[in-house]
Chains A and B, each alone.
Chain A
């Protein structure tokens, strides 16, 4: 590659990654040192080496897979159902303006309401276990998905719709040939936001009632004052959500490349 622009770009990317790694290592090192020298209370703050040790232990006993697997399943279910149903409802609202107008105040209230407040009720209604926790996860992402997808759909230039109508396009054709393809990027953004939302739902649900899952580990750890376990739960959570986010990023890049 002798393109100076590309070389420069790659150089900058490398620099950013190196700096990011340095920051991460520095924070971990500082934490470890502060804990070892008793600048902070290791009992309350834990330390990276004990967290890693505990994690390795959990991996060896295969205990972690059970917890991770269940939380991941609940999150994926919450994410996909919340996103798909949310977008379908947004399509219905776009299709029928009367329904959109009628539902508007309900959506506004539903959006403003802290959904975590509903979690205990939902679990009582739906039941404990995967079912209840998935419903909590859906409840957190659903309304936001409906509102933002609907707003994106309505942002499409009226003249573009008129252009299709001049070819006598049906509403279904306007939806499939314009509204959806024009909003692929926005839908991917919604998915990215919903990853975080679904994890909030799953963890909150597991806090309330569960015997497995990362949320359960964190809750259990804090109740028995095992901060290593709490921190490990948070650490695993951070890694998994990062991976999920990156997977979506990769899909996004692939779609963009196909279009260009």
Chain B
């Protein structure tokens, strides 16, 4: 089943300088439980694409089909420092006025599983960047979205934390079997986490290639990074981005 489908999406912005084509005929889909990474040169319209998928922008032409709810995770955790971790996590359910005890139970399970249960009464400013980003993910998952949009979610973290957190988040996503679109400019991260990598061209962004990461014999992002096939994929994507 396709959770997300884009069909011939085009976006043109109109500014004082005239028309600016940002996205040109983008089509792809994401199946249930699949992680798809989106890489492209900076300014290639990745954020515009996310905004279109999350319905904050409408495409100039083309169609976006989303089956279910969208969860959005950003580069910064955007936890509110006047709310405890627990209240931060529940903000989505609070906004939707959703008091489903099953969802609250699931949040508790996630927290317990990732060793965050002891911190639910703390305030975010008392926690490390890595913990905060894990909490931000659980906040996003709390409303039980069927597709996750991750917008450079690790780029504010230091290298070591970044590797660890991306590993954890990979496991959370795969456990929950939620479809994911990961926008990143880190080629290694894209290969390590995704089932498929979409490479965009310079503006106006066209879909250059979709690369399936299917013959790396490894289970976790960390193991994938060590696999010999990893650098082959890296070279291919690097080549495409620098064409």
Residues of A within 8 A of B70 (CB): 166
Instruction: Verify if A184 is at the interface (C-beta below 8 Å from B).
Output: yes
The answer to whether B78 touches A167 (Cβ under 8 A) is no
The answer to whether B54 touches A166 (Cβ under 8 A) is yes
Question: Which of A82-90, A154-162, A227-235 lies at the binding interface?
Answer: A154-162
By secondary structure, the B interface counts as loop
Nearest residue (CB) in B for A170 is B95
Nearest residue (CB) in B for A161 is B78
Nearest residue (CB) in B for A259 is B82
Instruction: Verify if A14 is at the interface (C-beta below 8 Å from B).
Output: no
The answer to whether B96 touches A167 (Cβ under 8 A) is yes
A90 vs chain B, min Cβ distance (A): 19
Q: How far is the CA of A178 from the CA of B91 in the complex (A)?
A: 11
Residues of B within 8 A of A159 (CB): 74, 76, 78
The answer to whether A167 touches B91 (Cβ under 8 A) is yes
The answer to whether A160 touches B78 (Cβ under 8 A) is yes
Interface size class of A (residues with CB under 8 A): 10 to 19
**With known contacts A163-B72, A166-B70, A157–B78 Cβ distance under 8 A:** yes
Q: How far is the CA of A30 from the CA of B95 in the complex (A)?
A: 63
The answer to whether B95 touches A164 (Cβ under 8 A) is yes
Interface string of B74-110 (1 = CB under 8 A from A): 1010101110000000011011100000000000000
Residues of A within 8 A of B91 (CB): 164, 167, 177
Nearest residue (CB) in A for B81 is A259
Instruction: Verify if A181 is at the interface (C-beta below 8 Å from B).
Output: yes
The answer to whether B82 touches A177 (Cβ under 8 A) is no
A139 vs chain B, min Cβ distance (A): 33
Instruction: Verify if B123 is at the interface (C-beta below 8 Å from A).
Output: yes
14 A-B pairs whose Cβ atoms sit less than 8 Å apart in the complex: A159-B74, A159-B76, A163-B74, A164-B95, A166-B140, A167-B91, A167-B92, A167-B95, A167-B96, A168-B95, A168-B96, A181-B82, A182-B80, A259-B81
B-side interface residues toward A, CB under 8 Å?
A: 54, 56, 70-72, 74, 76, 78, 80-82, 91-92, 94-96, 123, 140, 143
Closest 6 CB pairs of A and B: A166-B72, A167-B92, A167-B95, A163-B78, A169-B95, A160-B78
Q: A167-B91, A168-B96 are in contact. List 17 more A-B contacts (CB 8 A).
A: A159-B74, A159-B76, A160-B80, A162-B56, A162-B74, A163-B72, A165-B56, A166-B70, A166-B71, A166-B140, A167-B95, A168-B95, A177-B94, A181-B80, A182-B80, A259-B81, A259-B82
